[in-house]
Amino acid sequence: MAVMTDPPRLATPPPLGVKSPEPKKRRTAGWWLPFVLIAPAVVLELVIHVIPMVVGVWMSFIKLTQLYIANWSAAPFLGFGNYEVALDFSGAQGKALVQSFLTTVLFTVLVVGISWVFGMAAAVALQRSFWGRGLLRTLFLIPYAVPMYAGIIAWKFMFQQQTGAINTILTSLHLVDPGQKPFWLIGSNAIVSVVVVAIWRMWPFAFLMLMAGLQSVSEDLYEASALDGAKPFRQWRSITLPGLGPVNRVLLLVMFLWTFNDFNTPFILFGGNQPPAGDLISIHIYNTSFVNLNFGFGSAMSVLLLLFLLLVTGIYLFIGNRRSKDA
Amino acid sequence: MNFSRRTKIGAVIAGAAAIALLATGCSSGGSGSSDASGTTIKYWASNQGTSLANDKEVLTPVLKKFEKETGIKVDLEVVGWNNLQNRINTAVTSGAGPDVTNIGNTWAPYLQATGAFLPYDSANMKAIGGKDKFVATALATGGQEGKALTSVPLYGLAYGLYYNKKMFADAGLTPPTTWEEMVADAKKLTTPSVWGMGLEAGSYTENVHFAFITASQNKASFFKGEKADFTQDGAVDGVKRYLDLMQTDKVVDPSNAQYTTGTEASADFAKGKVAMIINQDNANALLESNGMKADAYGVVAIPAPVGGKKISSGIQGINISIYKNTKHKDAALKFVKYMTSAATQDVLGKPYVSIPVLKDVKPTFTDDPALAKTFQDIYNDASAPYPLVPLEGAFETNVGNAVNNLFATIATGGTVSTSDVKKALQTAEDKTNAAG
């Protein structure tokens, strides 16, 4: 007859409702390891992100202009002076800020929306294996892999009015009169060029994330729904989209933040010559700070931008969390 | 999870090594020796030649000679005009920049106000050869009145109106003496294949210079004391007159609104695509490199409108400054002395087409005595000094960019009225005064 011994502790979990006895308060060997492992990351985070951010916030409260830039401690304290100028929408600076903000909102909505649509379409199209899928996947990811400067400079050349490829193609398709070639890098068309380039860079990222997310959506669901007579669009709406819920939540937020803050695209595309139609907010703040040497004001605008983005993110996550609780 | 002891220690060593590696990578510039010889100084040169590469070609033998004479090595970087002010500003802000830099001479007052540059007080001025060697007008651009200068003149430049001799002769025209004549001539010369005039309409530095020149011709200025005052009638009218070359006179190709580097209009002129350009005298080198012989073009002073003041140029030029926090002060001073010496000025005068900033130096920028006289006269008699106030830098960027955008509006089919110009200048004025 076998002797019944107590089963080892790991084999059976404690019965529901009963708390396992508290382990003795004794530091396990190597308690310090997790802290040591994350210490470099924490230090770098503080030095590269947090401390400069705090300094930036402090800068927004002082009059840090060209007269004081070489000697910060001499700069007079302005309190909310810089903020007042930034938020005075009847003044030149405030009006320019609002204009830039609205341009950036339009830019972000267009870029995130269209990139997401392209990414979703490509991810769904390439969901099932077919001949040439690998090649197409690689092709689609190229814009994201190309070094940013090289890619955007290539677009800048293409958008040149007289010699660029875009106008040459449009002229050969007879969409544009050769004597009246449109400008893409100055004037009101500038928003089109910056949106196109941003979408070109952003949509492979959406594609990549959605493709990865689709891996976790089970094939069986599609088969079952097909048996029930569901058309592809219904399948997409009822299976794919909910299945990608968590991925989409994060993806849209990340895309929104990156696009809203995009500095590289307008800077490389337009150089120092920012057209008002393409004046995105990060470039606008840069122009005020570096080009006008008015760092206090630039910092105030940056803090306002930070608050706005925090607000949007907060609302977004709050709504997202409530939805997932209801699900 | 329970790691073995070995794994834990391994992880700690790896982490420490990573931090150590980062720390060495982040170490800032090395020690500066006070002994001048044997050191290396960093020098930012501006684009004065036909291209950045050309500048490097021109300067390298000059710098090598300096190294031979003094043992000081010069690490040269040539920075283009669309970037130079930005780079200088960044170096001022961060404190990390070159030891010596060229600056546009109109930037001298505002750079002086930042306090980031070494003042040429009596000791430093003596070290570079004394202030009496400089032409007085040129030296006056070195900073605000009454304060120790933080820059000294290096190259003198002046604007001129370049015209294509053959096109003028064929059309039976003589070089214009008034603005109205210039516009009429340009209109006559504008054909389906040739434009009457070429402008660097996308370059904020060029645009602000012409805004200044046309305003001066209208006896207006952009400042009231030290405060910006951009909406004086003469200033607004001057800018409108300049914009109208593209807008109503239609003698300028709208695609010039995308010309930003300061060299594209000259290249068009050399290739016979435009009949006239308004450019600083260093266009000579560019035209030559583009295949235009010196006898194919002539130069006259940019004419003033009838009844206007005979101003054809600002006192343009390049100055040279030393950053205050340089670790090689003696070496830097020696270098500035060398660059502003008669021998070096003689060598650099020709490739940079520079009007002499030193007294008693023969102009070498051209072999044509008539051309030399034209530019020397413009420099001496028809040049207006830029405002020597701290807000000058912000004035340049804001007014320059405003005119850029106005040209862009015209080029893309919009219209710019006098009140549009006034509005744009008012916005620029507000931004400028806020920067003070």
pLDDT, tens digit, 9 for 90 and up, residues A42-82: 999 999 999 999 999 999 998 888 778 777 788 888 888 88
Asked if B82 and A92 come within 8 Å (Cβ–Cβ), the reply is no
* Rounded Cα–Cα distance for residues B28 and B17 (Å): 19
Most A-contacting residue of B255, B326, B396, B429 (CB-CB within 10 A), to test interface: B255
User: Mean pLDDT throughout A268-274?
Assistant: 82
A219-230 average pLDDT score: 87
- Spell out which residues of chain A touch residue B323, defining contact as CB-CB under 8 Å: none
* Tens digit of each residue's pLDDT (9 = 90 or more) over B349-373: 888 888 888 887 888 878 888 888 8
Domain range enclosing B392: 159-314+388-434
- Whether B13 shows a pLDDT value over 90: the answer reads no
Q: A65 CA to chain B: closest CA distance, Å?
A: 6
Quick check: B418 contacting A, CB < 8 Å? no
Token pair recorded at residue A301: 């605008």
What per-residue confidence (pLDDT) applies to B215?
A: 94
pLDDT at B172: 93
Q: Residue A18: what pLDDT?
A: 58
Question: Is B131 found in the same domain as B71?
Answer: yes
pLDDT at A317: 87
* pLDDT class of B30 with cuts at 50, 70, 90: very low
pLDDT at B4: 66
Question: Between residues 15 and 34 of chain B, which touch chain A (CB distance below 8 Å)?
Answer: 15, 18-19, 22
| pLDDT > 90 fraction of chain A, expressed in percent and rounded | 46
Domain membership of residue B2 (yes or no) is no
pLDDT at B27 over 50: no
Q: What's the Cα-to-Cα distance from B244 to each of A183, B283, B407, rounded to whole Å? A: 19, 24, 9
- Please compute Rg for chain A using Cα positions: 27
Which residue is closest to B5 within chain A, CA to CA? A30
Residue of B2, B193, B405 to mutate, interface with A, max A Cβ within 10 Å: B405
Out of B82, B255, B432, name the one closest to residue A272 (CB): B82
More confident residue, A109 or B89: A109
B25: confidence class by pLDDT, cuts 50, 70, 90: very low
- Are B220 and B202 in a shared domain? yes
- Indicate if the pLDDT at residue A7 is higher than 70: no
Residue contact A276–B435, C-beta within 8 A: no
Q: Which of A314, A311, A305, A204 is nearest to A262 (CA)?
A: A305
CB contact under 8 A, A293 and B405: no
User: B115 with B262, same domain?
Assistant: no
Q: Does B433 touch chain A (CB under 8 A)?
A: no
How far lies B392's CA from each of A145, A202, A278, B105, in Å? 43, 40, 27, 11
Q: What share of chain B is helix, strand, coil (3-state, %, to 5)?
A: 50, 15, 35
Query: Among the residues of B176-225, which ranges form H helices?
Result: 179-189, 204-217
Q: Supply φ then ψ for residue B272, to 5 degrees.
A: 75, 20
Q: Could you say which of A30, A273, A274 has the minimum Cβ distance to residue B260?
A: A273
Residue B332 is predicted with a pLDDT of 94
Residue B1: pLDDT above 80? no
Q: Do A185 and B258 touch (CB under 8 A)?
A: yes
Taking a C-beta distance cutoff of 8 angstroms, is the pair B315, B379 a contact? yes
Q: How confident is the model at residue A271 (pLDDT cuts 50, 70, 90)?
A: confident
Indicate the pLDDT class of residue B234, thresholds 50, 70 and 90: very high
List B117's β-bridge partners, or say none.
B323
User: Which of B173, B85, B112, B137 lies closest to B389, judged by CA?
Assistant: B112
Q: Is the pLDDT of residue A1 over 70?
A: no
Please name the residue that has the structure tokens 């000259």: B266
The top-scoring range by mean pLDDT among A18-27, A92-101, A103-112 is A103-112
Examine the domain organization and report whether B197 and B341 are in the same domain: no
B23 located within any domain: no
pLDDT at A26 over 70: no
Residues A187, B18: C-beta atoms closer than 8 Å: no
Q: Which of A49, A29, A108, A164 is nearest to A281 (CA)?
A: A108
Q: What is the mean pLDDT of residues A233-254?
A: 89
User: Chain B partners of A294 at a C-beta cutoff of 8 Å?
Assistant: 434-435
End-to-end CA distance of chain A: 52
Enumerate the domain spans of chain A.
Answer: 53-87+294-327, 101-290
Give me the half-sphere count of Cα atoms (radius 13 Å) on the Cβ side of residue B83. 14
Residue A327 confidence (pLDDT): 53
Q: Distance between alpha carbon B328 and the CA centroid of its chain, in Å? A: 26
Structure tokens at A183: 């400008």
Cβ contact B89–A189 (<8 Å) = no
Query: Encoding tokens for residue B337?
Result: 């002395």
Give B271's pLDDT tier (boundaries 50, 70, 90).
Answer: very high
Q: How far is CA A184 from CA A131, A158, A194, in A?
A: 38, 9, 9
Quote the pLDDT of residue A43. Answer: 95
Sign of the Cα torsion B107, B110, B112, B116 reads negative
Q: pLDDT category, B436, cuts 50, 70, 90?
A: low
Mean of the pLDDT values across residues B185-189? 94
Band the pLDDT of B33: cuts 50, 70, 90: very low
Task: Verify that B95 and B240 share a domain, yes or no.
Answer: no
Instruction: Copy the structure tokens of residue A55.
Output: 């300094």
- Give chain A positions within 8 Å (CB) of B398: 292
What is the pLDDT, as a whole number, of residue A89?
84
Chosen domain end from B364, B384, B404:
B384
Task: Choose among B95, B393, B434: nearest Cβ to A297.
Answer: B434
- Strand segments (E) across B111-238: 152-157, 159-164, 195-198, 223-224, 227-228
B78 — pLDDT class (breaks 50, 70, 90): very high
pLDDT one-digit tens code per residue, A289-309: 777 778 888 999 999 999 999
- B171 close contact with A: CB closer than 8 A: no
pLDDT in tens, B95-140: 889 999 999 998 999 899 888 999 999 999 999 999 899 988 888 8
Query: Torsions phi, psi of B173, nearest 5?
Result: -110, 150
Which residues between 256 and 295 in chain B have a beta carbon less than 8 angstroms from any beta carbon of chain A? 257-258, 260
For residue B1, tell me if it sits in a domain: no
pLDDT for A128 equals 83
Query: What's residue A11's pLDDT?
Result: 53
- For residue B73, give the CATH number of its domain: 3.40.190.10
Q: In which order are the strands placed within the sheet that holds B152-157?
A: B73-79, B40-46, B100-104, B316-322, B152-157
Of B20 and B421, the one with more pLDDT: B421
For B401, half-sphere exposure in the C-beta direction (CA atoms, 13 angstrom radius) is 25
Given B384, B404, B424, the domain boundary residue is: B384
pLDDT of B28 > 50? The answer is no
Confirm whether B169 is domain-assigned: yes
In angstroms, rounded to a whole number, what is the distance separating the alpha carbons of residues A92 and A155?
32
Mean per-residue pLDDT over chain A, rounded = 86
Which residue did the predictor score with more confidence, A255 or A178? A255
Asked if the C-beta of A30 comes within 8 angstroms of chain B's C-beta atoms, the answer is: yes
Contact A273 B204 (CB under 8 A): yes
Any CB–CB contact under 8 A between B13 and chain A? no
Q: What's the gap in Å between the CA of B90 and the closest CA on chain A?
A: 7
Q: Does A276 lie at the interface with B, CB-CB under 8 angstroms?
A: yes
Interface of B with A in 85-124 (CB under 8 A): 85-86, 89-90, 92-93, 95, 110, 113-116
> A290 or A277: whose pLDDT is higher?
A277
Tell me the chain B residues in contact with residue A271 when contact means C-beta distances shorter than 8 Å. Answer: 82, 260
A-B contacts at Cβ under 8 angstroms:
130
Same domain, B285 and B424: yes
pLDDT tens digits, residue range B272-290?
999 999 998 888 888 988 8
- Pairwise CB contact (< 8 Å): A96 & B408: no
B256: closest CA among B408, B415, B144?
B408
Count how many domains chain B has.
2
Could you tell me if B140 and B207 lie in one domain? no
Tens-place pLDDT, residues B138-180: 888 888 888 899 999 999 999 999 999 999 999 999 999 999 9
Range of lowest pLDDT (A65-69, A248-252, B374-378): A65-69
Tell me, what's the pLDDT at B371?
87
B225 & B199 share domain: yes
Of B89, B254, B398, Cβ closest to residue A290: B89
Distance between alpha carbon B119 and the CA centroid of its chain, in Å?
A: 21
Task: Tell me if B397 and A292 make a contact (CB, 8 A cut-off).
Answer: yes
Q: Is residue B8 part of a domain?
A: no
**B298 lies in the same domain as B370:** no
Q: Residue B26: its pLDDT value, please?
A: 45
Segment B242-271 shows an average pLDDT of 91
Match 């670790």 to its residue by tokens: B327
Q: Are residues B178 and B284 in the same domain?
A: yes
Residue B275 lies in a domain: yes
pLDDT confidence bin for A230, thresholds 50/70/90: confident
Using the beta-carbon criterion (under 8 Å), do B86 and A272 form an inter-chain contact? yes
Which residues from chain A sit within 8 angstroms of residue B86, using beta carbons? 272, 290-291
Same domain? B408 vs B283: yes
List all residues of chain A from 216 to 235 with a beta carbon under 8 Å from chain B.
none
Compute the distance between CA of residue B276 and CA of residue B282 in angstroms, rounded to an integer. Answer: 15
- pTM of the complete model beyond 0.90: no
Domain A101-290, CATH: 1.10.3720.10
Please indicate if any CB of chain B lies within 8 Å of the CB of A65.
Answer: yes
pLDDT score for A68? 81
Residues B212, B334 within the same domain:
no
Determine contact: A96 vs chain B, CB below 8 A: yes
> What would the two tokens of residue B195 be?
């434009």
Mark A176-195 as b/e (b = at least 16 C-beta within 10 Å).
beeeebbbbbbbbbbbebbb
pLDDT in tens, A113-147: 999 999 999 999 998 888 999 999 999 999 989 99
